[in-house]
Structure 1
């Protein structure tokens, strides 16, 4: 089959599944790349709510199918066929958004998913709840009747042409600082606040005048402009903020952080808006007295209402300290008064829905809406989805120029309750009825001419159960657990395959980020679910630590438990990539300590190369390594030498590149590191010993030091609008 394992001399004497000997990595990588362009459309069930590092469904379909198939099975030939793997059981101990569970039940297998994070458990339960579109539409229409008018009244302005009130889509805000002399300075790096995503093709842009705060229209790259309202002359490209500094009108320079308030978040100024005229056209307008009065009315009403708002503080952490340093110490600080009022009114009305199943679907939608309606959002520009959500970087990055979205929204909005109802919630429910795959279309000459959606699975109707006994008794079932995956309520030797995607050891601290949602969900669900009754979404058993050795011990505990529940002829397969040798050394140590051994590796496309924060990396990684493991006692090895690994890296990179994929130096290191793990599978090296091997591989095939960081903390100097 000319696989990687053949190239490095791995024995197939004990192969028990198709995944151990071959994987259609080129074909699936090509499909995965297509899926990655619009994951929320191509696999909507896993994007009903925000989760981090959501893996591609097509890749996990291939992994799961191979893990449950006999050796010699052509996985690609079976990829688009409908399967009914009744009786097979698949476990994901880090279920995240539920990708493994969905792909397993689509194949007709039973699935067990466990996550220690309560937000994950909640969103996966909602994703697989088969609520009818009629039920959801009835609930939405009730909300639209009873609360939408209250919300919309706070998002309107007067059209200067007709004098009529029209809806506001977005408000533009800017943070301000005040000098010791009393000068208030807006943190604008330039006065161009809206331009097209492709400005050279569409150069028209919106500019705010620093003299009168009027809104002007000119080229995005204009350097000389005279305001038509007040006559002020200025350069739109030169705002008072540059990097970590601001400059006063008199030319004095201050460090921004020195001017931040000692207590609380920085103040903001609302200066412009985008509104929707009756004819459907969009118009940019300056903020006038009536608009300021409306915002003040929202503040006054907020003070008089009793609403279900978040009251918890933001805990110190890797992903939260930057926000805390800017005065965001409570989760409610992430919203302005109008947002808190309108979100609170909406949540209060959702909690009045009597049908708890429908209510929780709407709660999930509400929680999704939070991502696009807070002070950490920004404007992406014309010709795009408009709202850059708060998690575009995997840290809580304060925005100097926040964009305030309209909470309920219109059909011309982006990231609002009404638009996400259609694009996230209903789309996910339809996928349960028609779970499709992406398939390429070829012409008579064999050239690819497009893609289409094709049905390759039965409807997802796996009955959700609460215990192993219920799952064991059912032909098809889905068991969704919350808790420590190192202590599963599952009998030994009962699982056919473990398929998962473990967390990184040092970058994305999921619970620190998910606290943002938990702060809203926990108060209304804590009496309903024990796992929601916490101070925050963290748990002492979560697998997350900046020390790779500690992370290895944490991960080993989960892998050891997975090994216990796995059948002797089953495999544990997981996806992983990392730019540093320490990350791979931690994985090697976790595998060894848990009684497992790597028996095969398959590099496969994992993420859109243009996805943020990958665009900030000098040498972005777009490949995952699929590591296939078996219980050590049932795995036979013929370890290769390191130079064979290097040769295999060249061969595999060439194979993927010939299929049209762009392979970076970071990707080459992922391939090389994975092959090193299989080459050293029988050696039981120490952490330092395997790290030396991995450092050598990186030096030989990977990027230079610092060029393949998966993510980096955004510095103060980078806190700028696009």
Structure 2
């Protein structure tokens, strides 16, 4: 294969690192796209627990190699080599799931990670804690012996064929509301509750009868059904709910939210079906019967008498939580039904009795991970795919009208349960620590890609966790995992070789609002052990998150200023970023400028595959990240490339990426163009409004070909060198 490398420019006297001069855009984008399909398998240490916007390890490995090697080095040629960058230090002030830390220590460098969110700090500590599979399995087997039977008894039903008790994989529930006339209405938009992910190939579906609540098997698209139990004739495609409104049997129309309980409690639910597992491993759908409802009530009654470590904190108002609060979900325990609270509480209580603190915390992390798939905000994805749609498939906490109740402990055929996540998340992550690998493509003699394989290109991850800079400074290898405000780091001036990070976006996911879901369970267990868990919720005054771009820029600038302080003069600060709006890029420009930095290079690469909103909801989704490479301003001026033709650069890069098989949208073109604009204006010290106007012009110029280039009048102070707009936007 002939490699295609994006040469940003020949190495020159001003460049201090390979990252400023060279980046294998095409090769890394291809590898990153492959990684993004199964991130939890290809980089399991960063997916030991839920975190948001996790970045692709292959991209950050390449960034880190480039940031720690001299100009002229071929970064792609070094990608699959084993490195020992002993003594070099990489900082990530927005640690998240720990991607930068993992990739740095795999290269033999020292790593410092900091995050203001206690859940991030906890999960990263667990990801890099060494624990033998034998140790973990021994404790797991003890839990399986002592508490699994107690939990499993609440997830079983009687097989009508054999009369024997069989395990239930999933319970199907539906929210109900009461009309003023006293009619209970299920919030069903259709009566088909289970179908295949590819229904045209496998049209068989499960349908619930609105007359007797029996279930039947029919085609997924049938519009006429007769219930075999009660004879009721109905259209399975038409339920009582359409959008935000429902219609009762008399034809009266109501807004769903107007019928929520007046006492402020969450909506009621009705259990109507189950998927159970027979001894021959076949799955069977069953209607909920009286004894199934009685089993749930038994769990409900026991919950009222048990003393369990359950969440007690409230759901605070916020962008990502207001929709849940609008449905009266005001306490985190409201996100679970009584059986879930009972079984999760029993499991957590037993985990907290584990004497070995390291192993206890590994199991606590696994428990917290299990919560994501065991709550009332989960839903059924269908047959032929992972059954459970976890609660964070939307970035807002959207109340699920037809919740799927998973079985907490699970079976060998379950998805998202404590026992299955033990194998698929925890043990897989620990094996990766022992044998960290990269993905490599395989090609035939004609140069056509025929598959991929794993290459071990790192020593086992054994970086010792250190608590102080003094300890880390004396060691050749190691890592510090900090919790706190990254604008106030306990690190000396000019002590870090590179800063590699992924800052939050000003108008996207508010991490702490969502991480409160986990914090509510973890804090009572860990608050006496770690001071950063001894607070009301996972937010902090110093967190960088704001819907106003100017306020966000100020917050981000404070962290970048601190990063600039600890960064060596010859070091780079590199981070990934994309945004579809000019103000997002203007905020980044302002933060960089106020921190005393300047963008010296930008590399477009394939971004994380985002299967969730807001990406899939966008008409023109973004699939590229821009890797923005910054230097301290005093050392950057002579190295700045001149972007006389931003649109030309966008066209050239678009053609190159498309030739490599990547799909490039209009929004992706703007990502490329905006990044080039930040380079062109890096030392101009423009105001927020001035750079935003430039960026708006770029957005229009690189938009659909049907758009004509607008008349652009830019008000730029005469003190700024102004590049003629005909040059800047010349096709």
TM category (shorter chain) comes to over 0.9
1:559 and 2:552 equivalent? no
User: 2:713 aligns to what?
Assistant: none
User: 1:627 aligns to what?
Assistant: 628
1:520 and 2:555 equivalent? no
Instruction: Name structure 1 gaps, 5 residues minimum.
Output: 705-722
Going from structure 1 to structure 2, the CA distance change for 1:324 and 1:610 (only over 3 Å counts) comes to closer
User: 1:120 aligns to what?
Assistant: 120
SS in 2 for 1:229: coil
1:648 and 2:649 equivalent? yes
Looking at structure 2, the residues matched to 394 and 456 of structure 1 have their Cα atoms a distance apart, in angstroms, of 35
Looking at structure 2, the residues matched to 243 and 71 of structure 1 have their Cα atoms a distance apart, in angstroms, of 57
User: 2:589 aligns to what?
Assistant: 588
Counterparts of residues 214-363 of structure 1 (less than 5 Å):
214-262=214-262, 263-363=264-364
Counterparts of residues 420-431 of structure 1 (less than 5 Å):
420-431=421-432
TM (norm. structure 1) is 0.96
1:613 to partner: Cα distance: 3.9
SS in 2 for 1:381: coil
**Greater mean alpha carbon deviation, residues 256-265 or residues 183-192:** 256-265
Going from structure 1 to structure 2, the CA distance change for 1:2 and 1:194 (only over 3 Å counts) comes to closer
Counterparts of residues 428-443 of structure 1 (less than 5 Å):
428-443=429-444
The answer (yes or no) to whether the contact 1:639–1:680 under 8 Å persists in 2 is: no
User: 1:663 aligns to what?
Assistant: 664
Instruction: Name structure 2 gaps, 5 residues minimum.
Output: 706-731
The answer (yes or no) to whether the contact 1:151–1:408 under 8 Å persists in 2 is: yes
Looking at structure 1, the residues matched to 697 and 102 of structure 2 have their Cα atoms a distance apart, in angstroms, of 39
1:140 and 2:156 equivalent? no
Looking at structure 2, the residues matched to 68 and 510 of structure 1 have their Cα atoms a distance apart, in angstroms, of 30
Looking at structure 1, the residues matched to 558 and 676 of structure 2 have their Cα atoms a distance apart, in angstroms, of 24
Deviations 1:349-404 (A, max 9, x none): 00010001000000000000000000000000000100000001111110010000
Cα-Cα RMSD: 1.4
Looking at structure 1, the residues matched to 318 and 11 of structure 2 have their Cα atoms a distance apart, in angstroms, of 45
User: 1:129 aligns to what?
Assistant: 129
Looking at structure 1, the residues matched to 380 and 593 of structure 2 have their Cα atoms a distance apart, in angstroms, of 47
SS in 2 for 1:285: strand
User: 2:186 aligns to what?
Assistant: 186
User: 2:725 aligns to what?
Assistant: none
The answer (yes or no) to whether the contact 2:6–2:26 under 8 Å persists in 1 is: no
The answer (yes or no) to whether the contact 1:619–1:703 under 8 Å persists in 2 is: no
1:3 to partner: Cα distance: 4.4
User: 1:534 aligns to what?
Assistant: 535
1:72 and 2:69 equivalent? no
Deviations 1:595-640 (A, max 9, x none): 0000000000012265554222111101000000000001124767
The answer (yes or no) to whether the contact 2:32–2:59 under 8 Å persists in 1 is: yes
1:321 to partner: Cα distance: 0.6
Looking at structure 1, the residues matched to 130 and 22 of structure 2 have their Cα atoms a distance apart, in angstroms, of 35
1:447 to partner: Cα distance: 1.1
SS in 1 for 2:455: strand
1:203 and 2:177 equivalent? no
SS in 1 for 2:571: strand
Looking at structure 2, the residues matched to 196 and 146 of structure 1 have their Cα atoms a distance apart, in angstroms, of 37
User: 1:597 aligns to what?
Assistant: 598
User: 1:55 aligns to what?
Assistant: 55
- Name the structure, 1 or 2, with higher relative contact order (CA <8 Å, separation 6+): 1
1:4 to partner: Cα distance: 6.8
Looking at structure 1, the residues matched to 96 and 273 of structure 2 have their Cα atoms a distance apart, in angstroms, of 39
User: 2:26 aligns to what?
Assistant: 26
SS in 1 for 2:658: helix
Deviations 1:33-70 (A, max 9, x none): 00000000000000000000000000000000000011
Counterparts of residues 367-406 of structure 1 (less than 5 Å):
367-406=368-407
Deviations 1:408-434 (A, max 9, x none): 000100000000000000000000000
Deviations 1:413-463 (A, max 9, x none): 000000000000000000000000000011122111000111010000011
Counterparts of residues 368-517 of structure 1 (less than 5 Å):
368-517=369-518
The answer (yes or no) to whether the contact 2:5–2:24 under 8 Å persists in 1 is: no
1:249 to partner: Cα distance: 1.0
Deviations 1:11-30 (A, max 9, x none): 94410100000100100000
1:231 to partner: Cα distance: 0.1
SS in 2 for 1:55: coil
1:260 to partner: Cα distance: 1.1
1:506 to partner: Cα distance: 1.2
SS in 2 for 1:496: strand
User: 2:719 aligns to what?
Assistant: none
1:153 and 2:153 equivalent? yes
Going from structure 1 to structure 2, the CA distance change for 1:29 and 1:3 (only over 3 Å counts) comes to closer
SS in 2 for 1:677: helix
The answer (yes or no) to whether the contact 2:15–2:639 under 8 Å persists in 1 is: no
Going from structure 1 to structure 2, the CA distance change for 1:2 and 1:111 (only over 3 Å counts) comes to closer
Going from structure 1 to structure 2, the CA distance change for 1:66 and 1:639 (only over 3 Å counts) comes to closer
1:702 to partner: Cα distance: 3.6
Looking at structure 1, the residues matched to 684 and 105 of structure 2 have their Cα atoms a distance apart, in angstroms, of 37
